[in-house]
Structure 1
Amino acid sequence: MDLHIVIDPAQPRGEQVLRQLRGLIRSGRLATGAQLPPTRLLAEQLGLARQTVAEAYERLVLEQLIEARRGRGSFVRALPVAEAEAPPAVMPRFASAERIAAFQALPLPFLRIADSPLARFDFVGGSPEPALFPHEDWRRHLHAAQRQLGQGSAHAPPAGLTALREAIAEHVAFARGVRCSAADVIVTQGAQQAFDLLVRVLVAPGDTAAIESPGYPPVIAQLQAQGARTVRVPVDDDGLVTDALPAGARLVYTTPAHQFPLGVPMSAARRHALLAWAARTGTVVIEDDYDSEFRFEGAPRDSLQGLDTEGRVAFVGSFSKTLAPSLRLGYVIAPPALRQALLHAKHLADVHGPSLLQSALARFMAEGAYRRHLRRCVAEYAKRRERLMAGFCGPLRPWFKLLHAEAGFHQAALLKPGLGIDAPQLAALARRVDVGLYPLQGLGAERDGLLMGFGRVAPDGIDEALGRIAGLLEAAT
């Protein structure tokens, strides 16, 4: 934390500390929940008496800007809504005002979800169970990577460390039938960066892009930010309706293994039809394979990339669902014709990704720890899936139809018509009983229902939460 104390005889040093801390909090540079340094440490850093800093902290407590927690320290409190959201007195006018406004207006429902606290029983989608993270194995490989840090080149390749690309290529060939070598792998900072690179390389303002409807909101927003004309293609029980694909599209984005958010898999006939359409039109297909490694029934379906014989599919994967979102590690298996352009875009975006984490993950995968971790996750999520299905086929059956999904750790549940309550109303009621629900309508769906992620709710918690939902519905219908 930067605190610059000006030695001004007319201004007491304690007032200067107080004023600067207050400004850091109100400007947001010190975020809600941030811990302030201990008074002794900050006093030593600033060359002041400890009492001077302690008095400044006491004033901030009285102003309700920080709170003192016994035995833990001092933490920034949330600002009152009126103060936190108050705009500057004078808003500058920029020549790029329209462009700025366009970004401000982008629909980003996941950003709102991320800013909201989780309920005790929270069915948020795409969020793995933190307790399943392999801390001991990861710590060991991270320490080994750290010891090796600095022995190599000053800059990693834009595509990522060779060892990690080799490990990813071997894994996706084994687990998903993807045809590739390490040369085809570009390591990215999460799947989100992979989508960003593909969109920037493939789409110019005014170009047409086809997306699933309902679909994954961040990709839709990325296309809109690029100035693309997005055409929403409906999804039915067989996945993307290929007969509705638009002419002239530069790309089509799809989630064939576990459609987001409905969860249905794309049928074999639709997969072949999509690839044939892409061959006729010269379109690139972005295959988002975000959580298909969690498979609970049937043999794994072929990836689109594995079926593709013409190099038109870009296969995107992520470690955010299988390990932890905070690692920000993903990848794209790039078609040969796109590889060089994507590497140039990657270099311009961030030069290269975090070498330390890439090295640790490469070791983790090469040792076989990643596959062991996946087996453990599948076993745990299978228990949660069974509880979820039992609840919707039992106590919640009068109100819901649970859509079939073979893989992934969320399912969609559709509300039956004529109940007198919709999913957004139910979600609002559920918050009062500490249950987090997420309406499909908030993800662009026209159907009335819920996305039920079971990554963050233990099996017994699922039973209790679904019982609370049933009680709300009995009282409301």
Structure 2
Amino acid sequence: MEPVFSFPVLLPRGVGSLTQALHQQLRAAILDGRLPPHAALPATRKVAEALGVARNTVVAAYDLLIAEGYVVPRQGARPQVAEFARRRSKPARAGVDASRFAPAWRTPFLQPSPARSLPERNFRLGIPDHRHFPHEVWRRLMAQTLRRSARESFAYAPSQGIPALREAIAQHVAFARAVACSADDVIVTSGAQQAFDLIARLLVTPGQTKVAVEEPGYPPVRAAFAAAGARLVPLPVDDEGLCVERLPEDVRIISVTPSHQSPTGVAMSLRRRAALLDFARRHHAVIVEDDYDGEFRFGGRPLDALQTLDRDAQVFYVGTFSKSMFPSLRKGFVVAPAWARSGLVTVKHCVDSHCDGITQAALAAFIRDGHLARHVRHMRPIYAARREALLDGLQRGLGEWLQPIPSEAGLHLAARLRDPAQASKLMPVVLRAAAGAEATAEYAMTRNIEPAVTFGYGVIDAADISAALAGLRRSLRKL
């Protein structure tokens, strides 16, 4: 039989309301323009015969369209589609109408990174190795959590995180980083990025609060404070970390990565840490300490965290499980001073009432039962071997062009160009040969920084590192 409509109409058989299904599909066709204005609807008898339904079903669907104003009845003639502004399948104008955005978002300061085509083993930053993760343990804990928490999973978890996870995190950071805190001090977040966002929302007065950030530094941190309306003050970084002596007196928030600077990899010296804490005390400022991969340490005893040295309740300690476990877990935390806890919980409740309880419970068990500590111990020598291969290749094969920047922690290592004047010539060759590596200029607000390149070794084996650097050496020799 010849179809009565120019588009397919699919009606349920045996279940549901035929009238409702037909009405919804015809309404969607009108809104999308498949039934244009002034088009006459087919006769109800003909539609009923074509679709194999009762005529009353079609009459009822037409009546609903008439009642809603989508169709206009006509005396002695078939009803026709009404004239009105229908929705469009394509935007009326190309591009983005940024005038409708809030002022802070009219100039993008952090775009999602475009997908890059990289080989499986590459120098990409910030990604841990999935091959050595105890997947079977994690699956078992997730399954146990689902079985045990059938009732709880249908309830809202506390905004600050479930008690079991906050207790586990407090014990973990005390053991791994000597951060003294209790479960009450911990607020669970959806990754470190949300932690920065919550702190910025709580402490920044738009257009007034000055926030010092590292230059170069981690772009998502800058984005969180910029989105809150902060006035950013970029401060240089050298081999001792943030140049504290350059801090303006009216800065009220200082964001730092003291254990393993992002992206240069340097550790803030004890002298600078003491000076930073003293500055914050004297100028009534706060410090946001981002310790994103401090569990992986390859040198001697790590320097104490700023939070450990803090005696004036001025440090917000931010951590994440993206590097020690995996990024899609989306779990981070803030160890907050007592005076700020209730405010942070209130902000968290407003913007994201709670993190999901299932993965929180599984993560709590993973930490509590010692799996996280065992996994970190297992991965430390693996990453150490890769770091040694990277250092060896940079020093022995590429020392003519690159100088490694001192670093004893984390999952990446940077090297500066020995001849900055050759940056425009050398950098494209380095980034092409070392797939996934990044120029530190990509982490800077300005371009007035010494040229350097950062290599990640989270997902690349030592042998692949040596082979890639040998290829880089050959490419540079050709220049």
- After TM superposition, is the score higher than 0.5? yes
The one-character-per-residue Cα deviations of 1:160-182 (angstroms, maximum 9, x if unpaired) are 01111111001111111111100
Structure 1 residue 103: Cα displacement: 2.5
- The higher radius of gyration belongs to 2
Structure 1 residue 88: Cα displacement: 3.4
The one-character-per-residue Cα deviations of 1:192-232 (angstroms, maximum 9, x if unpaired) are 00000001101121121111111111111222222211111
Structure 1 residue 89: Cα displacement: 3.7
**Residues in 1 aligned to 2:219 and 2:113: alpha-carbon distance in whole angstroms:** 12
Structure 1 residue 385: Cα displacement: 0.4
> Quick check: 2:386–2:457 contact (8 Å CA) kept in 1?
yes
**Residues in 2 aligned to 1:404 and 1:392: alpha-carbon distance in whole angstroms:** 12
- Name 1:469's counterpart in structure 2: 472
TM-score by length of 1: 0.79
- Name 1:142's counterpart in structure 2: 142
1:11 matched to 2:6: yes
Structure 1 residue 156: Cα displacement: 0.9
Alpha carbons of 1:266 and 1:297: their partners in 2 closer, same or farther (altered >3 Å)? same
Q: Which amino acid aligns with 2:8?
A: R
**Residues in 1 aligned to 2:229 and 2:261: alpha-carbon distance in whole angstroms:** 25
Q: Which amino acid aligns with 1:151?
A: R
Alpha carbons of 1:356 and 1:422: their partners in 2 closer, same or farther (altered >3 Å)? farther
**Residues in 2 aligned to 1:118 and 1:191: alpha-carbon distance in whole angstroms:** 25
- The equivalent position to 1:459 in structure 2, one of 457, 462, 472, is 462
Structure 1 residue 105: Cα displacement: 3.0
The share of aligned pairs that are identical, in percent, is: 42
> Quick check: 2:122–2:436 contact (8 Å CA) kept in 1?
yes
- Name 1:219's counterpart in structure 2: 221
The one-character-per-residue Cα deviations of 1:88-141 (angstroms, maximum 9, x if unpaired) are 3425997x72645752532336x225x223234421111111212210110111
1:351 matched to 2:343: no
**Residues in 1 aligned to 2:242 and 2:123: alpha-carbon distance in whole angstroms:** 25
- Name 1:309's counterpart in structure 2: 311
Q: Which amino acid aligns with 2:127?
A: S
- Name 2:442's counterpart in structure 1: 442
- Name 1:251's counterpart in structure 2: 253
Alpha carbons of 1:104 and 1:151: their partners in 2 closer, same or farther (altered >3 Å)? same
- The equivalent position to 2:301 in structure 1, one of 299, 302, 308, is 299
Q: Which amino acid aligns with 2:5?
A: A
| Runs (5+) with no aligned partner, structure 2 | 11-24, 26-50, 52-89
- Name 1:339's counterpart in structure 2: 341
1:156 matched to 2:175: no
Alpha carbons of 1:14 and 1:216: their partners in 2 closer, same or farther (altered >3 Å)? same
**Residues in 1 aligned to 2:289 and 2:265: alpha-carbon distance in whole angstroms:** 15
> 3-state SS of the aligned residue for 2:252?
strand
Structure 1 residue 12: Cα displacement: 4.5
Large movers: runs of 4+ above 6 Å? none
The one-character-per-residue Cα deviations of 1:307-350 (angstroms, maximum 9, x if unpaired) are 00111000000000110000000100011011000000000111
> 3-state SS of the aligned residue for 2:214?
strand
> Quick check: 2:260–2:294 contact (8 Å CA) kept in 1?
yes
**Residues in 2 aligned to 1:393 and 1:359: alpha-carbon distance in whole angstroms:** 45
> Quick check: 1:123–1:456 contact (8 Å CA) kept in 2?
yes
Q: Which amino acid aligns with 1:158?
A: S
**Residues in 2 aligned to 1:300 and 1:362: alpha-carbon distance in whole angstroms:** 25
Alpha carbons of 1:420 and 1:210: their partners in 2 closer, same or farther (altered >3 Å)? closer
> 3-state SS of the aligned residue for 1:10?
coil
Q: Which amino acid aligns with 1:205?
A: P
- The equivalent position to 2:285 in structure 1, one of 279, 283, 286, is 283
Structure 1 residue 8: Cα displacement: 7.2
> Quick check: 1:128–1:456 contact (8 Å CA) kept in 2?
yes
Q: Which amino acid aligns with 1:210?
A: A
**Residues in 2 aligned to 1:332 and 1:125: alpha-carbon distance in whole angstroms:** 23
**Residues in 2 aligned to 1:100 and 1:187: alpha-carbon distance in whole angstroms:** 28
**Residues in 1 aligned to 2:374 and 2:281: alpha-carbon distance in whole angstroms:** 38
Q: Which amino acid aligns with 2:170?
A: A
The one-character-per-residue Cα deviations of 1:369-388 (angstroms, maximum 9, x if unpaired) are 11000011111101100100
Structure 1 residue 10: Cα displacement: 1.8
Q: Which amino acid aligns with 1:450?
A: V
**Residues in 1 aligned to 2:277 and 2:149: alpha-carbon distance in whole angstroms:** 43
Q: Which amino acid aligns with 1:164?
A: L
**Residues in 1 aligned to 2:120 and 2:157: alpha-carbon distance in whole angstroms:** 42
Structure 1 residue 267: Cα displacement: 0.6
**Which runs of structure 2 are paired with 1:66-81 in the superposition (5 Å)?**
none
**Residues in 2 aligned to 1:280 and 1:449: alpha-carbon distance in whole angstroms:** 35
Q: Which amino acid aligns with 2:195?
A: A
> Quick check: 1:423–1:449 contact (8 Å CA) kept in 2?
no
> 3-state SS of the aligned residue for 2:249?
coil
Structure 1 residue 426: Cα displacement: 2.1
**Which runs of structure 2 are paired with 1:58-457 in the superposition (5 Å)?**
88-90=91-93, 97=99, 99=101, 102-103=104-105, 105-108=107-110, 111-112=112-113, 115-152=115-152, 154-206=155-207, 207-417=209-419, 418-419=421-422, 421-422=424-425, 424-427=427-430, 429-430=432-433, 435-444=435-444, 446-457=449-460
> Quick check: 2:430–2:472 contact (8 Å CA) kept in 1?
no
**Residues in 2 aligned to 1:375 and 1:420: alpha-carbon distance in whole angstroms:** 38
- Name 1:71's counterpart in structure 2: none
Structure 1 residue 291: Cα displacement: 0.4
Alpha carbons of 1:345 and 1:237: their partners in 2 closer, same or farther (altered >3 Å)? same
The one-character-per-residue Cα deviations of 1:55-101 (angstroms, maximum 9, x if unpaired) are xxxxxxxxxxxxxxxxxxxxxxxxxxxxxxxx93425997x726457
- Name 1:81's counterpart in structure 2: none
Alpha carbons of 1:473 and 1:275: their partners in 2 closer, same or farther (altered >3 Å)? same
**Residues in 2 aligned to 1:420 and 1:344: alpha-carbon distance in whole angstroms:** 48
**Residues in 2 aligned to 1:14 and 1:399: alpha-carbon distance in whole angstroms:** 67
Say how many residue pairs are matched: 397
> Quick check: 1:430–1:469 contact (8 Å CA) kept in 2?
yes
Q: CA RMSD in A?
A: 2.5
Structure 1 residue 148: Cα displacement: 1.6
> Quick check: 2:215–2:443 contact (8 Å CA) kept in 1?
no
Structure 1 residue 460: Cα displacement: 1.0
